Every structure is written in structure tokens, then in C-alpha cells.
């Protein structure tokens, strides 16, 4: 098979580093260019220390249009509110797009403005992007030319209860609490991610107001949830990688653990990156760190007030399944490849 020529815009972040690592070893890909406005002219190993001097790529100050002329697919690992300024430059070219930012995920431009604090500069193009969650939209991704890569928390939260939404069992309030690693905050240090503060510390942030909340609701409604509302509390945890979300909702009083197991197994039967631990063992971050795999377990509490309480625990790596790995999974589907190509590796243990 002819190799897919790809380029990357925004090459200095953590997600970009994970993407580069996997693209250069992908058997069906030729990484052509890496664009950045920072560290121009420097070898990428000067920024991403894991590469050393083994890769002959430098950061180049190239426009989106220049990348499009040399590539058939462009990844954009740019910040929110920057991506929507660059992406329109790609539209005149016959190039596929996978965007890491939140700029094309939320279909309602007014909701985007509320949660991201910016007016979208080309809202008329939002609906041309397919939301790149393969466990929900695999068939649409296969024929898409523009992908909005999901957010890390949005992926974990949605996957934790997606089978219930599809089964028509997700209604009313879903409450989600989850710690995340510091790499999710980006490569630039801030007070919240500074090591002396983050180490040996945990804190909640953006309580009930995280930008992934409307994305989670949108995804679950697309899967079949009705009359849904999500309360979400993210937690800053003292680890560099990983997300562990705990999603709690009410289910009908007659639901049984065997029903839950059947619903989850059936929904995820064609999802190779989903590992179900069930009700006997709960997922841990260390099991999936550094991989594109997701683990989901659950518990069911006895009837109260005509309902049963259900809790799903979901773990994943925020830089792989939450960003670069999911982008490659989407690329594989877009080009008719096995979706595990370049991603079927083992994590670190311990």
C-alpha cells in the first residue's frame, strides 16, 4: 500500500510528541513536515527529549496551506481558539483534517462560546466535521474527510456509560467525578501544574463548568440518552498521565448485574480497545498508561426509592486514547486500515 503522507501543525506539545512517536513507526505513514511557531529550525529532539537525535525532523514555520500542498492529511495539535483560525486555510485543498482542539466538537456555536469564552470564527463549518469517537461513530469516520478528535475527559466520561445511553437506560442526571494527570494541562507550566503544587496534592477545578461537559452531553444524547443532564467535577491529580472517571446514575429497580454485563459486552463487541473488567475488578490507571486501551468496570447498588444506583469506573491515558492515539485510530479508519495499526502495544507495568 502507498504510504499516507501526513503533516502536523503545532508540534511542540505533549500530545504532538505522542503523535510523532506513533506516526514515525506506523507502517502505512510517511510523516512529511512538522510545523510550529516555536523552536523554528531546531531538531524535534531538542524539545521532545525521548527522540534524542534519532529523527531528522526540524520545527518549521509553515502555514496550513503550505502543509496541505505537501500532504494528504494534516493533524492539528493547536490550542483551542487558534485551530479555527488556521483550519479554513485547508478547505480549498483536497486534504483530510484531524483536529485535536475543541473548536469543531460542539455542534452548537453558542454553547461553544459559553464554555470556551470565544466567538467561533467559522461556525458554518462545524457540522462538516465528524466527531471522532470510533466506539460510537465508526461508520461515519470511515467516509469522513474532517474529524474533530474528542477531548480526553469527554472520551472517558462518554465511554463509561455509552452502552446505557444506547440501550435507552440513561435518563436524568449523570454525576461524574474524575482525577486526571498533569500532562492534560499542556506543555506550558502554570500555577496549577507547577510540580511543587501538584506533587502530593489533589484539587478540584472548573467544578460543574468544565468545557468538556457539553461535549459529554452531546455524545450521550447522540447515542440515545434522553432528558439528560451531566454534573462533572474534574480533579487535578499528582500523576503525569492517566484519567480515572467515576460515573454515577440511577437505573430501573429491576436491572441486574447480568443485564449490565450483557449490555456492555454487546455494545463494545467490535471495539478492540475497550477492555471490560466487569463488577469483580475495577480499572487502574497503571494498566493502560501509555496505550490506547480503555478499561471499564461497574457496580450496582440495591434498590432505593424505586431505582438502583449504578457506578461505572473508566480509565485511559489522556495523551493516547485521549488525544494522539485516538487520532491515529481515526486515521486508520479513514484509510480502510485495521484500526489497531500502530496502536497495538503494551503499556508500562508497574
- Catalytic residue status for 157: no
Asked if 182 and 198 count as a contact pair (C-beta separation under 8 A), the reply is yes
The SS3 assignment for 316 reads: strand
Non-local (6+) Cβ contacts of 315 within 8 A are 156, 242, 243, 244, 245, 283, 284, 285, 287, 288, 294, 295
Choosing from 152, 157, 249, 314, the catalytic residue is 152
| Beta carbons of 202 and 192 less than 8 angstroms apart | no
Determine the Cα–Cα distance for residues 116 and 261; give it in Å rounded to an integer: 37
Burial (0-12, 13-18, 19+ Cβ within 10 Å), 305? exposed
Instruction: Measure the CA–CA gap between 287 and 344, rounded to whole angstroms.
Output: 14
Would you give the DSSP letter of residue 293? -
- How many Å separate Cα 118 from the centre of its chain? 21
Q: Which residues are catalytic?
A: 152
Amino acid at each position: 500500500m502507498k504510504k499516507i503522507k501526513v503533516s502536523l501543525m503545532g508540534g511542540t506539545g505533549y500530545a504532538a510528541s505522542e503523535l510523532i512517536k506513533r506516526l514515525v513507526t506506523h507502517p502505512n505513514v510517511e510523516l512529511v513536515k512538522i510545523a510550529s511557531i516555536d523552536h523554528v529550525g531546531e531538531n524535534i529532539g531538542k524539545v521532545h527529549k525521548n527522540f534524542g537525535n534519532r529523527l531528522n525532523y526540524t520545527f518549521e514555520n509553515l502555514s496550513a496551506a503550505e502543509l496541505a500542498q505537501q500532504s494528504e492529511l494534516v493533524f492539528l495539535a493547536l490550542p483551542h481558539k487558534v485551530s479555527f483560525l488556521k483550519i479554513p486555510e485547508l478547505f480549498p485543498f483536497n486534504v483530510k483534517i484531524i483536529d485535536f482542539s475543541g473548536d469543531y466538537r460542539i455542534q452548537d456555536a453558542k454553547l461553544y462560546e459559553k464554555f470556551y469564552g470565544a466567538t467561533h470564527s467559522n461556525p458554518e463549518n462545524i457540522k462538516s466535521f465528524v466527531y471522532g469517537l470510533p466506539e460510537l461513530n465508526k461508520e461515519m469516520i470511515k467516509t469522513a474527510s474532517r474529524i474533530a478528535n474528542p477531548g480526553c475527559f469527554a472520551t472517558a466520561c462518554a465511554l463509561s456509560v455509552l452502552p446505557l445511553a444506547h440501550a435507552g437506560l440513561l435518563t436524568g442526571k449523570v454525576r461524574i467525578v474524575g482525577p486526571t494527570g498533569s500532562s492534560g494541562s499542556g506543555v506550558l507550566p502554570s500555577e496549577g501544574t507547577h510540580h511543587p503544587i501538584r506533587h502530593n496534592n489533589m484539587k478540584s477545578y472548573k467544578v460543574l463548568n468544565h468545557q468538556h461537559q457539553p461535549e459529554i452531553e452531546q455524545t450521550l444524547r447522540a447515542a440515545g440518552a434522553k432528558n439528560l443532564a451531566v454534573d462533572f467535577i474534574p480533579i487535578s491529580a499528582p500523576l503525569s498521565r492517566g484519567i480515572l472517571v467515576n460515573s454515577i446514575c440511577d437505573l430501573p429497580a429491576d436491572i441486574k448485574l447480568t443485564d449490565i454485563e450483557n449490555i456492555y459486552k454487546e455494545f463494545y463487541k467490535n471495539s478492540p480497545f475497550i477492555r471490560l473488567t466487569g463488577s469483580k475488578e475495577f480499572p487502574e490507571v497503571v494498566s493502560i498508561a501509555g496505550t490506547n486501551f480503555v478499561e471499564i468496570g461497574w457496580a450496582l447498588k440495591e434498590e432505593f426509592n424505586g431505582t438502583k444506583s449504578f457506578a461505572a469506573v473508566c480509565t485511559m491515558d489522556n495523551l493516547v486514547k485521549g488525544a494522539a492515539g485516538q487520532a491515529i485510530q481515526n486515521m486508520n479508519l479513514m484509510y480502510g486500515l485495521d484500526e489497531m495499526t500502530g496502536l497495538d502495544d503494551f503499556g508500562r507495568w508497574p
